[in-house]
Protein backbone atom coordinates (compact mmCIF):
# COMPACT_ATOMS: atom_id res chain seq x y z
CA UNK A 1 0.00 0.00 0.00
CA UNK A 2 2.86 2.33 0.89
CA UNK A 3 4.54 1.58 -2.45
CA UNK A 4 1.31 2.36 -4.30
CA UNK A 5 1.00 5.64 -2.41
CA UNK A 6 4.54 6.62 -3.40
CA UNK A 7 3.86 5.59 -7.00
CA UNK A 8 0.66 7.65 -7.21
CA UNK A 9 2.40 10.63 -5.59
CA UNK A 10 5.22 10.45 -8.14
CA UNK A 11 2.69 10.15 -10.96
CA UNK A 12 0.77 13.17 -9.63
CA UNK A 13 3.97 15.23 -9.48
CA UNK A 14 4.86 14.22 -13.03
CA UNK A 15 1.42 15.17 -14.38
CA UNK A 16 1.32 18.48 -12.52
CA UNK A 17 4.87 19.35 -13.59
CA UNK A 18 3.92 18.74 -17.23
CA UNK A 19 0.94 21.03 -16.78
CA UNK A 20 3.09 23.76 -15.23
CA UNK A 21 5.62 23.45 -18.05
CA UNK A 22 2.89 23.76 -20.68
CA UNK A 23 1.62 26.88 -18.93
CA UNK A 24 5.17 28.28 -18.80
CA UNK A 25 5.74 27.62 -22.51
CA UNK A 26 2.45 29.23 -23.46
CA UNK A 27 3.15 32.18 -21.17
CA UNK A 28 6.51 32.80 -22.86
CA UNK A 29 5.06 32.56 -26.37
CA UNK A 30 2.01 34.65 -25.49
CA UNK A 31 4.30 37.27 -23.93
CA UNK A 32 6.29 37.46 -27.15
CA UNK A 33 3.24 37.94 -29.37
CA UNK A 34 1.86 40.52 -26.95
CA UNK A 35 4.91 42.80 -27.29
CA UNK A 36 5.08 42.53 -31.08
CA UNK A 37 1.45 43.31 -31.82
CA UNK A 38 -0.69 40.26 -31.09
CA UNK A 39 -1.45 36.90 -32.67
CA UNK A 40 -4.42 38.14 -34.69
CA UNK A 41 -2.23 40.49 -36.74
CA UNK A 42 -0.09 37.52 -37.81
CA UNK A 43 -3.15 35.44 -38.61
CA UNK A 44 -4.37 38.21 -40.92
CA UNK A 45 -1.08 38.41 -42.83
CA UNK A 46 -1.34 36.85 -46.30
CA UNK A 47 1.93 37.92 -47.90
CA UNK A 48 5.10 39.88 -47.22
CA UNK A 49 8.10 41.34 -49.03
CA UNK A 50 11.34 42.13 -47.19
CA UNK A 51 14.18 44.15 -48.71
CA UNK A 52 17.63 44.67 -47.28
CA UNK A 53 21.36 45.00 -47.75
CA UNK A 54 24.38 43.02 -46.63
CA UNK A 55 28.09 42.68 -47.28
CA UNK A 56 30.20 39.93 -48.79
CA UNK A 57 33.83 39.61 -49.93
CA UNK A 58 32.56 40.55 -53.41
CA UNK A 59 30.92 43.74 -52.17
CA UNK A 60 27.47 44.91 -51.15
CA UNK A 61 24.49 42.61 -51.62
CA UNK A 62 20.89 43.64 -52.20
CA UNK A 63 18.38 41.15 -50.80
CA UNK A 64 14.68 40.69 -51.54
CA UNK A 65 12.50 38.01 -49.99
CA UNK A 66 8.94 37.25 -51.07
CA UNK A 67 6.59 35.05 -49.03
CA UNK A 68 2.93 34.14 -49.32
CA UNK A 69 0.49 31.78 -47.65
CA UNK A 70 0.49 28.89 -47.26
CA UNK A 71 4.18 28.18 -47.95
CA UNK A 72 5.40 29.97 -51.09
CA UNK A 73 8.69 31.84 -50.88
CA UNK A 74 11.55 33.27 -52.89
CA UNK A 75 14.85 34.70 -51.69
CA UNK A 76 16.94 36.57 -54.23
CA UNK A 77 20.22 38.49 -54.09
CA UNK A 78 21.59 41.11 -56.43
CA UNK A 79 25.37 41.41 -56.49
CA UNK A 80 27.57 43.29 -58.96
CA UNK A 81 24.49 44.00 -61.07
CA UNK A 82 23.43 40.35 -61.35
CA UNK A 83 20.40 38.81 -59.62
CA UNK A 84 20.45 35.25 -58.29
CA UNK A 85 17.65 33.25 -56.68
CA UNK A 86 19.16 31.61 -53.63
CA UNK A 87 16.10 29.47 -53.01
CA UNK A 88 12.43 29.48 -53.94
CA UNK A 89 9.35 27.31 -53.55
CA UNK A 90 6.30 27.74 -55.79
CA UNK A 91 4.01 25.28 -54.05
CA UNK A 92 5.41 22.31 -55.96
CA UNK A 93 9.01 22.91 -57.00
CA UNK A 94 12.00 24.02 -54.97
CA UNK A 95 14.47 25.85 -57.19
CA UNK A 96 17.30 28.35 -57.33
CA UNK A 97 20.11 29.75 -59.45
CA UNK A 98 23.22 27.64 -60.06
CA UNK A 99 26.03 30.09 -59.29
CA UNK A 100 28.42 28.33 -61.69
CA UNK A 101 26.15 28.18 -64.75
CA UNK A 102 23.96 31.13 -63.71
CA UNK A 103 20.92 29.12 -64.74
CA UNK A 104 17.85 28.34 -62.65
CA UNK A 105 17.61 24.71 -61.62
CA UNK A 106 15.17 22.59 -59.65
CA UNK A 107 16.43 21.39 -56.29
CA UNK A 108 16.20 17.78 -55.04
CA UNK A 109 12.87 16.41 -53.82
CA UNK A 110 14.07 16.39 -50.20
CA UNK A 111 14.63 20.15 -50.40
CA UNK A 112 11.18 20.67 -51.92
CA UNK A 113 9.64 18.59 -49.14
CA UNK A 114 11.42 20.61 -46.45
CA UNK A 115 10.42 23.94 -48.00
CA UNK A 116 6.82 22.76 -48.33
CA UNK A 117 6.79 22.30 -44.56
CA UNK A 118 7.97 25.88 -43.93
CA UNK A 119 4.67 27.64 -43.34
CA UNK A 120 4.23 31.37 -43.94
CA UNK A 121 3.51 32.16 -40.31
CA UNK A 122 5.80 31.35 -37.34
CA UNK A 123 5.66 27.66 -36.48
CA UNK A 124 5.10 28.52 -32.80
CA UNK A 125 1.87 30.41 -33.59
CA UNK A 126 -1.01 28.02 -32.80
CA UNK A 127 1.63 25.29 -32.58
CA UNK A 128 -0.67 22.75 -30.90
CA UNK A 129 -3.17 22.90 -33.76
CA UNK A 130 -0.30 22.32 -36.19
CA UNK A 131 0.81 19.19 -34.34
CA UNK A 132 4.11 20.59 -33.04
CA UNK A 133 5.40 20.12 -29.50
CA UNK A 134 7.22 22.80 -27.50
CA UNK A 135 8.97 22.23 -24.17
CA UNK A 136 10.89 24.52 -21.83
CA UNK A 137 14.52 23.40 -21.67
CA UNK A 138 15.68 25.82 -18.98
CA UNK A 139 17.81 28.90 -19.59
CA UNK A 140 20.80 29.84 -21.70
CA UNK A 141 22.82 33.03 -21.96
CA UNK A 142 22.99 34.42 -25.49
CA UNK A 143 25.56 37.19 -25.95
CA UNK A 144 25.15 38.30 -22.34
CA UNK A 145 21.34 38.07 -22.33
CA UNK A 146 19.63 35.51 -20.11
CA UNK A 147 17.06 33.66 -22.22
CA UNK A 148 14.32 31.09 -21.92
CA UNK A 149 15.28 28.10 -24.09
CA UNK A 150 12.36 26.42 -25.83
CA UNK A 151 12.68 23.19 -27.77
CA UNK A 152 10.35 22.88 -30.75
CA UNK A 153 9.74 19.37 -32.06
CA UNK A 154 7.90 19.66 -35.34
CA UNK A 155 5.20 17.25 -36.43
CA UNK A 156 7.78 15.68 -38.77
CA UNK A 157 10.25 15.13 -35.90
CA UNK A 158 12.69 17.91 -36.76
CA UNK A 159 13.97 19.97 -33.84
CA UNK A 160 14.57 23.70 -33.48
CA UNK A 161 15.44 25.82 -30.44
CA UNK A 162 14.03 29.28 -29.69
CA UNK A 163 15.60 31.79 -27.30
CA UNK A 164 13.44 34.50 -25.72
CA UNK A 165 14.86 37.37 -23.65
CA UNK A 166 13.64 36.82 -20.07
CA UNK A 167 13.19 40.54 -19.45
CA UNK A 168 11.69 41.83 -22.69
CA UNK A 169 10.07 38.58 -23.98
CA UNK A 170 11.62 39.30 -27.40
CA UNK A 171 12.82 36.43 -29.58
CA UNK A 172 16.54 36.99 -30.10
CA UNK A 173 17.83 33.75 -31.62
CA UNK A 174 16.88 30.42 -33.17
CA UNK A 175 19.13 27.37 -33.43
CA UNK A 176 18.70 24.46 -35.78
CA UNK A 177 20.69 21.87 -37.70
CA UNK A 178 20.60 21.76 -41.49
CA UNK A 179 19.25 18.46 -42.80
CA UNK A 180 19.74 18.96 -46.54
CA UNK A 181 22.20 20.31 -49.10
CA UNK A 182 25.90 21.13 -48.70
CA UNK A 183 25.32 22.43 -45.15
CA UNK A 184 23.78 19.16 -43.96
CA UNK A 185 24.72 18.51 -40.34
CA UNK A 186 25.85 22.08 -39.71
CA UNK A 187 24.43 24.00 -36.77
CA UNK A 188 22.78 27.26 -37.79
CA UNK A 189 22.19 30.11 -35.35
CA UNK A 190 19.98 32.96 -36.56
CA UNK A 191 19.89 36.18 -34.54
CA UNK A 192 17.13 38.79 -34.87
CA UNK A 193 17.37 42.34 -33.52
CA UNK A 194 16.44 46.00 -34.06
CA UNK A 195 12.67 45.55 -33.82
CA UNK A 196 10.66 48.32 -35.53
CA UNK A 197 6.93 48.76 -36.09
CA UNK A 198 5.49 47.92 -39.50
CA UNK A 199 1.71 48.21 -39.86
CA UNK A 200 1.23 47.62 -36.15
CA UNK A 201 3.63 44.66 -35.93
CA UNK A 202 7.11 44.84 -34.40
CA UNK A 203 9.43 43.29 -36.98
CA UNK A 204 13.21 42.67 -36.66
CA UNK A 205 15.31 44.78 -39.02
CA UNK A 206 18.65 43.08 -38.37
CA UNK A 207 19.23 39.42 -39.25
CA UNK A 208 22.52 37.66 -38.47
CA UNK A 209 23.29 34.05 -39.31
CA UNK A 210 26.14 32.09 -37.77
CA UNK A 211 27.18 28.88 -39.51
CA UNK A 212 30.29 27.13 -38.19
CA UNK A 213 31.64 30.41 -36.84
CA UNK A 214 31.06 32.31 -40.08
CA UNK A 215 28.67 35.23 -39.53
CA UNK A 216 26.73 37.21 -42.12
CA UNK A 217 24.37 40.09 -41.36
CA UNK A 218 21.51 41.59 -43.32
CA UNK A 219 20.05 45.00 -42.55
CA UNK A 220 16.36 45.19 -43.45
CA UNK A 221 15.52 48.48 -45.15
CA UNK A 222 11.87 47.90 -46.07
CA UNK A 223 9.06 45.51 -45.15
CA UNK A 224 5.75 45.45 -47.01
CA UNK A 225 2.89 43.51 -45.43
CA UNK A 226 0.08 42.03 -47.54
CA UNK A 227 1.27 43.19 -50.97
CA UNK A 228 -0.45 41.66 -53.99
CA UNK A 229 1.94 39.06 -55.42
CA UNK A 230 1.39 37.33 -58.75
CA UNK A 231 2.01 33.59 -59.10
CA UNK A 232 4.87 34.21 -61.53
CA UNK A 233 6.91 35.70 -58.69
CA UNK A 234 7.39 32.19 -57.28
CA UNK A 235 7.01 29.98 -60.36
CA UNK A 236 10.07 28.05 -61.50
CA UNK A 237 11.45 29.35 -64.78
CA UNK A 238 14.53 28.13 -66.59
Q: What are phi and psi of 185, to 5 degrees?
A: 90, -10
- CATH number assigned to the domain comprising residue 160: 2.50.20.10
Please enumerate in sequence order all residues whose Cβ is within 8 A of that of 69, keeping only pairs 6 or more positions apart, or say none: 45, 46, 47, 120, 121
Q: How far is CA 48 from CA 65, 67, 97, in A?
A: 8, 5, 22
Residue 194 domain-assigned (yes or no): yes
Residue 238 domain-assigned (yes or no): no
CA 67 to mean position of chain CA atoms: 13
Spatial distance between the Cα atoms of 104 and 106, rounded to a whole number of angstroms: 7
Q: Enter the pTM of the model.
A: 0.83
Spatial distance between the Cα atoms of 218 and 208, rounded to a whole number of angstroms: 6
User: Per-residue pLDDT for the chain (238 aa), expressed as one digit of tens each?
Assistant: 444 454 444 444 444 344 444 459 999 999 999 999 999 999 999 999 999 998 766 678 899 999 999 999 999 999 888 899 999 999 999 999 998 898 999 999 888 888 888 878 898 999 999 999 999 999 999 999 999 999 999 988 999 999 999 999 999 999 998 776 666 778 889 999 999 999 999 999 999 988 888 888 899 999 999 999 999 999 998 7
Residue 24 domain-assigned (yes or no): yes
The count of domains in the chain is 1
Residue 195 domain-assigned (yes or no): yes
- Based on its alpha-carbon atoms, the radius of gyration of the chain, rounded to whole angstroms, reads 20
The predicted structure's pLDDT at residue 15: 41
Residue 64 domain-assigned (yes or no): yes
Residues spanned by the domain of 172: 2-233
Residue 32 domain-assigned (yes or no): yes
Residue 33 domain-assigned (yes or no): yes
Q: How far is CA 57 from CA 53, 65, 80, in A?
A: 14, 21, 12
Amino acid sequence: MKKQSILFSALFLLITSLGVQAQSVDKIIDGYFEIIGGKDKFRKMKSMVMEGTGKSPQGEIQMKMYSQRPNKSKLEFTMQGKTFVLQAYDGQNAWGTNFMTRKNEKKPDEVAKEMAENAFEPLYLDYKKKGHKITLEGSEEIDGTECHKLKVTRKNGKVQYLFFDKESNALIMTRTTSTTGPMKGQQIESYVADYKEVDGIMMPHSLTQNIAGQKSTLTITKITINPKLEEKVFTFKE
